[in-house]
Structure 1
């Protein structure tokens, strides 16, 4: 019997763009629009939970004042 090598886990989809600055006013990351607790717990969420959050992100952009987004 041959042991097949273990496969590495599939990469987790993430909206992270490596701009990790949390806006104190909205509580959202200026790069990906997630809340700090979502960023911190991202790996522990189910794929369905991550997909639901990612579907909300475009609408969250409007919660951040435009002049803050112009910095990035």
Structure 2
């Protein structure tokens, strides 16, 4: 029997630090744009994973980690 792995399920990256940075217009807690935050509940899991990847890249660029 072949077992297939389940696709990664995207959990919200919100850490309840909801404040938009005035310069880059990103949430200071999760590094999502306001558009990404507002669309989160309506998009597919694949789109959520794309948003998470983009936010992780922004976090890395902003914090150098």
The size of the alignment, in residue pairs, is 55
Residue 24 (structure 1) aligned with residue 22 (structure 2): yes
Q: Which residue of 2 aligns with 1:42?
A: 40
The structural deviation recorded for 1:58 is 2.0
Name the SS for the 2:23 alignment partner.
Answer: coil
Q: Which of residues 6, 11, 14 is equivalent to 2:12?
A: 14
Gaps of 5+ in 1: 1-11, 66-72
Q: Which residue of 2 aligns with 1:57?
A: 55
Which sits farther off after the overlay, 53-62 or 39-48?
Answer: 53-62
From the CA coordinates, give the structure whose radius of gyration is larger. 1
Gaps of 5+ in 2: 1-9
The structural deviation recorded for 1:59 is 1.6
